[in-house]
Each structure stands twice: as C-alpha cells, then as structure tokens.
Amino acid sequence: MSMTLRRLSRAATAGLVAAAALTAAAHSAEAADTLGSAAAGQGRYFGTAVAASHLGEADYTATLDREFSSVTPENEMKWDATEPSRATFTFTSADRIVDHAQSKGMDVRGHTLVWHSQLPSWVGSLGASDLSTAMKDHINGLMGHYKGEIHSWDVVNEAFQDGGSGARRSSPFQDKLGDGFIEEAFRTARAADPAAKLCYNDYNTDGVNAKSNAVYNMVKDFKSRGVPIDCVGFQSHFNSNSPVPSDYRQNLQRFADLGVDVQITELDIEGSGSAQAADYTKVVEACLAVDRCTGMTVWGVTDKYSWRSSGTPLLFDGNYQEKPAYGAVLAALGGSGDPGDPGDPGDPGDGTASCTATYTRTADWDSGYNGQVTITAGDEPISAWTVTVTLPAQQSVSSLWNGTPTWSGNVMTVKPSWNGTLAAGASTGFGFTAAKNGSDAAPTVGTCTAS
Ligand code: 9MR
C-alpha cells in the first residue's frame, strides 16, 4: 500500500479506532481485567509481538485483541522482509499487522530499522558511502510509509557485543561506517518521523554489566551532544542461564535518569508454574517502580509460537489458556482478576494444590458408551489427584485406562496410574467403557482433590 493510501485508509478507519478506544476506556473503568486495561490503569501499554501469518487463527486473534494494547511485528518490518532488494520495498505483511492493530485501537512499535541480522546480502556487499546512503534510504522508506502510525521505533538493534568488553559488534554498518553509524541512523530517523519515539534496543543489558554500561555511555553521550534519542529498549529474554537480574529496576532507573524513556520490549521467561509467575511479577514491578518505564511487550501471544521452541516462556499456553504467569502479571498491574478461585489456572499461585475435573462422553452405542474425565491442575503443580465418579445404578464399567479405580457400590474413586504429576494449569485424564444395562443417563463427576 502506498504512503498516501495508508494515510487515506488510516483516516477512513479513524472513526473505528476512536470507537475501539472508547470501548476500551469504558471497559477499563468497569474492571481492569485484561493486561492492556490493567496496564492502562498504571499509565502504561502492554504489548505483544505478533506474526502476520497467525492473524487468521481465531483463538490467536481473539487473545491478541482482548488482552493487548500494543503490537510489535515479530519479523515483518525487518530489512529482509521490507527491502529484500535495493529500493524495492514490500510492506504487505507489515501492513496486515498495522491495519489489524489500528482497527482494534492498539498502538504499534516499529521493529527494527538497522540490525546486523535478517539483513539481505546486498547490504553487506556495498562500499562505505553506498552503505550509508542505503541505510538512510531504508530508514526513510520504512518510517515514511508508516509516518505518524508508530509510537516507538527500534532504530538500531543489538549493536554491542556480548561479554565483558562493552565493544561494538561487528556488522557491515560498524565495520564500514564506524561508531558514527548509530548517530547517523538516529538523526535520519528523527527527520523521517518527528512524532515517533526513537529507541536503541538490546539484550543482556537488563542488569548493570559491561554491555549495559557501554549502552549507558552511548546514551549519555547522545544526550549531551543533542543526538536525538528518546528511549532504550530492554529485550528481557530470561531463562535459568540468564535470570531476571536483581538490579533490573536499578538499571532501568539509571537510564531513565539520563532523560530517556525505558521500555521492556521482548519479554519472555522460560519456565512454568509459580516460579515463572514470580519472575514475571519481578519484571512488572520493576517497570512500575520506574516512572519513565512506559510499557512492556511480551515476545509472543502463545507458547506454541514462541521463538524459544523448546520452552514455554509466555503468558498463554499452547491452547490459549492463561498460565499462572498471566494471573501474576495481571495482579502486579493492579488488575481485578479473580485470584483465589480454586483451580483457576489463571490465578497466581497461593501454595494450595488443586484440580478440576470435567466429563465428556466420547463414544456412544446402543448398549454402552465411553466416557473421558479430564483433570486440570490449578495454580500450583500437583503430584496426585483423586476424582469420584458416580454411575447410574444399572450401569457397570468394563474397563478403565490411564487411572486406577476402587469401587464402593456404584461409586468409583479414581487415582492416577502413571499420570499424577501435573504442572500448574496442565491437564491429563482417564477414560472408561461402561455398559448401559438399560440406563442412558450420564455419570456424575465429584470434586477433584489434589496434593
Ligand atoms: O522472534 C524472532 C524469530 O521469529 C526470528 O526467527 C528471529 C530471527 O533473528 O528473530 C526473533 O526475534 C528477535 C528480535 O527480532 C530481536 N531480539 C531477539 C529476538 C529473538 O531472537
């Protein structure tokens, strides 16, 4: 879509956007029971990375639209996606995300203009002066297309090396243009869209360390010389090797004290259950404790599409169920969830093992049927469960699998066979075959108890 068309289309949807914003505001006044509305109550946005390819999935889009107030295209605005060959810009996928966000009243973060990764090979083959021109053309191409539509841009991403040196990372930009490329990128960006906040974004800069010191010194230098920079993004990809630093808040605050906003831009924390929830709480509390921490973005809607393919680092599981981390974030944001409902997997952990059981008839024939009981752990991990099933007097069970029954009259008490241990919010179940003996009535499933 051309720039002019984007603006026209934006104007045409402005009424819709305003209506969506009003609905969101009314909603938040009633009950801040979503991440976006609870964060708004704290003067912050709560965003997520979004992939255009998932927008056709109903559960994905429903969760996105209900919970989040900002989106970051996960890959669609990167150089390889938007300018795969020189001066040929393609915005189809990125436009899809921006149009969706606008139609739901969500803000958009732009990610990312100048980065060593996901960079088409033609960029690396240019000589210095041509590369400088290409970098500015790329910034102008992207920022021009979305002018006035992006609340914050990651202008430069990951320009510093990991490890203790605090040195710049080798890249075509660094190697051919030298340290000045970052400043050149920010100056170009300011002119391209004066309304957008301009951010430097990086990882492993979340605590005070050599790398964050190097970024800190750069921002300080930029502020002292009037180089335009408005914000620093802290990606915040955490796991057991890279846990939430104990000086996270202190680090955010020292950057804020330089006169820039800080944003948590790509949050994910590997783990599960109450331990993961507690780490998410630390992150949200750190942001809320820093006045200039303007918002948080998690790096994806659901565990099933996380870039951490072997982990479960996000707030919704693969079935879009709220994880304990979700309840913890909502509570830390001051949202009014329903903490304390036994067995609600969205609630923060309170140390009490609990479970719920639901019954479905999975097969049916004249003389019998198969039943399935699904057991779901509550807000804490469990190591055992017990469920009673009361059958109509005439019926009898001929076989039962994935559970161990004991009988008292027509009541069977079922305990696990191999499947007693469940993570918080996780499910298992047992099945059985019953003979009707003249009664087609459903059995009654009693309370699930867990330890
Ligand atoms: O989540 C992104 C994944 O789908 C891409 O394959 C990957 C390619 O580099 O980039 C991921 O996002 C990265 C982000 O753009 C910058 N910070 C690190 C993120 C996770 O790798």
117 lines ligand 1 (CB under 6 A): yes
235, 264, 307, best to mutate for ligand 1 pocket (most atoms within 8 Å of CB):
307
**pLDDT reported for residue 97:** 98
183 is catalytic: no
- pLDDT band at 349, cuts 50/70/90? low
Q: Measured in angstroms, how far is the CA atom of residue 68 from the centroid of ligand 1?
A: 20
For 113-129, give the DSSP string.
EE-SSS--HHHHTS-HH
Give pLDDT, residue 164: 79
Ligand 1 centre to CA of 10 (Å) is 28
CA distance 449 to 384: 8
> Is 358 a residue whose pLDDT tops 90?
no
The separation between CA 147 and the C-alpha centre of its own chain, rounded to angstroms, equals 25
- CB of 230 closer than 8 Å to CB of 223: no
* d(C-alpha 184, C-alpha 77), whole Å: 20
Distance 57 CA to ligand 1 centre (A): 21
How many C-beta neighbours within 10 Å does residue 291 have? 11
Ligand 1 centre to CA of 111 (Å) is 10
pLDDT band at residue 342 under the 50/70/90 scheme: very low
- Using pLDDT thresholds of 50, 70 and 90, give the confidence band for residue 20: very low
Average pLDDT over residues 391-418: 93
Which atom of ligand 1 is found nearest the CA of 235?
17
Residue for token digits 């104007």?
11
What Cα–Cα distance (Å) separates residue 192 from each residue in 52, 107, 108, 151, 262? 25, 19, 17, 14, 22
Q: Is the minimum distance from the CB of 154 to ligand 1 under 6 angstroms?
A: no
pLDDT at 7 over 80: no
**When comparing pLDDT for 183 and 2, which is higher?**
183
Closest-lying ligand 1 atom to the alpha carbon of residue 78: 15
- Its pTM stands at 0.74
At 122-136, the pLDDT tens digits run: 999 999 999 999 999
> Which one of 158, 184, 322, 380 is the catalytic residue?
158
Cβ–ligand 1 distance for 74 under 6 Å, the answer: yes
In the numeric block, which tokens belong to residue 451? 């330890």
- Select which of 74, 184, 266, 380 is catalytic: 266
Q: Where are the alpha helices (DSSP H) in 207-358?
A: 210-225, 248-256, 273-288, 324-332
Give the distance (Å) from ligand 1 centre to CA of residue 74: 7
Q: State the pLDDT at residue 424.
A: 78
Residue among 266, 267, 298, 310 whose CB has most ligand 1 atoms within 8 A, to mutate: 266
- Does the annotation mark 266 as catalytic? yes
User: Taking residues 267-280, what's their average pLDDT?
Assistant: 97
* Partners of 201 in the β-ladder: 157, 233
- pLDDT tens digits for range 417-446: 988 988 877 788 999 999 999 999 999 988
Kindly state if the Cβ of 307 falls inside 6 Å of ligand 1.
yes
Ligand 1 atom nearest to 49, measured from its CA? 1
| Ligand 1 within 6 A of CB of 90 | no
Radius of gyration of the chain (CA): 26
Residue 53 beta carbon below 6 angstroms from any ligand 1 atom: no
Q: Is 268 in the pocket of ligand 1 (CB under 6 A)?
A: no
Q: How far is the CA of 99 from the centre of ligand 1 (A)?
A: 22
Average pLDDT of the residues of the chain: 90
**CA 146 / ligand 1 centre spacing (Å):** 21
Q: Is the CB of 235 under 6 A from ligand 1?
A: yes
Least confident of 219-233, 350-364, 382-396: 350-364
Q: Measuring from atom 20 of ligand 1, which residue has the nearest CA?
A: 307
Position 8 scores a pLDDT of 52
Q: What digits encode the pLDDT tens for the residues 103-162?
A: 999 999 999 999 999 999 999 999 999 999 999 999 999 999 999 999 999 999 999 999
Assign 5 a pLDDT band (cuts: 50, 70, 90): low
Q: Whose CA is nearest to atom 10 of ligand 1?
A: 75
The confidence score (pLDDT) of residue 343 equals 35
The protein residue with its alpha carbon nearest to ligand 1, atom 8, reads 118
pLDDT at residue 362, rounded to an integer: 85
- pLDDT at position 423 is 82
* CA-nearest residue, atom 13 of ligand 1: 74
Residue-level pLDDT at 181 = 98
| Percent of the chain residues past pLDDT 90, beyond the cut | 79
Average pLDDT over residues 186-191: 98
